[in-house]
Structure 1
Amino acid sequence: MLKFKFQLWAFAQLLKREIKHNPDCARYIAGKRLVFQIRTASNVRRQYLIGDGMLRSAAGLTANPQFTLNFADAAKGFTILSANDSQAAFLRGLGSQDLTISGDFSEVMWFQGLIAFLRPQRVISPYDRTTF
């Protein structure tokens, strides 16, 4: 459970850094107002606020989130949120009921776009034989 709590806190720190240092990410959140939370059935809870071009985060829940990611437990949450294939992991979690989402699904999709800024970009080498 402690590992998951740290992951949720670190997630906010990484996003803050990305917003500060990546102009594309800063533009992505510009003008956006979003309140959401991530929680588990065993009371791991963290809320996030995006507004005024910044991200803020605090332990606990908020009264009126636009969406909530509910994980069955901290281990499942850690696994899903740290997966390299995050969109596929989200879908697997939804299918297995290890993850349920309540609230505005369009905001969840926007959020998926935001967390894409945290993934390292693949550098294509001229020696890469992959065809497009």
Structure 2
Amino acid sequence: MLKFKLLLWVFAQLLKKQIKKNPVCARYIEGKDLTFQIRTNAGTGRYFVIRGGAIRSFAGLTADPQFTLSFQDAAKGFEILSAKDSQAAFLRGLGSKDLVISGDFLEVMWFQGLTGFLQPSKVICAYDRTAF
């Protein structure tokens, strides 16, 4: 459970860093007013507030999120959220019911765009056209 909690905290820190250093990411959240949470079925989790061009996160749960990602347990949450093939892992989690998404699916789609800013981009070497 500790790894899951730490992962959620680190997730918020990484988003804050992207917002500060990446103007495209900063523009992406500009004007957004969103509260969402990531939790386990047992009630462990963290909620995130995007407002005023910034993101804040808080331990625990909120009463009225616009959407919730609920994992069967902390181990499954950590496994899915930290997977290298994140999109496929989410789909597998949804199919197996290890992950249930509730709330506003338009906001979930927007959130997926936000998480894209955390994906490492490939750098193409102009000389030999290889990615590294």
Instruction: Calculate the TM-score normalised by the size of structure 2.
Output: 0.94
Shift of 1:128: 3.4
1:17 — aligned with what? 17
Per-residue CA deviation, residues 50-77 of structure 1 (Å, 9 max, x unaligned), is 0100001001111110000000011111
1:70 — aligned with what? 70
1:128 — aligned with what? 129
Cα pair distance change 1:52/1:92, threshold 3 Å: same
The answer as to 2:100 corresponding to 1:100 is yes
Per-residue CA deviation, residues 18-45 of structure 1 (Å, 9 max, x unaligned), is 1011101000000011100010023211
Q: Is the 8 A contact 2:15 2:118 kept in 1?
A: yes
Unaligned runs of 5+ in 2: none
Identity of aligned residues (%): 68
Q: Aligned to 2:36, what secondary structure does the other structure show?
A: strand
1:26 — aligned with what? 26
Shift of 1:79: 1.0
Shift of 1:129: 6.2
Measure, in 2, the Cα distance between the counterparts of 1:42 and 1:64.
18
CA RMSD of aligned residues (A): 1.3
**Where do 1:39-54 residues align within 5 Å?**
39-54=39-54
Measure, in 2, the Cα distance between the counterparts of 1:84 and 1:106.
24
Per-residue CA deviation, residues 84-130 of structure 1 (Å, 9 max, x unaligned), is 22111111100010000000111111101001101111112232369
Q: Is the 8 A contact 2:36 2:65 kept in 1?
A: yes
Q: Is the 8 A contact 2:43 2:61 kept in 1?
A: no
Number of residue equivalences: 130
Q: Is the 8 A contact 2:68 2:102 kept in 1?
A: yes
Unaligned runs of 5+ in 1: none
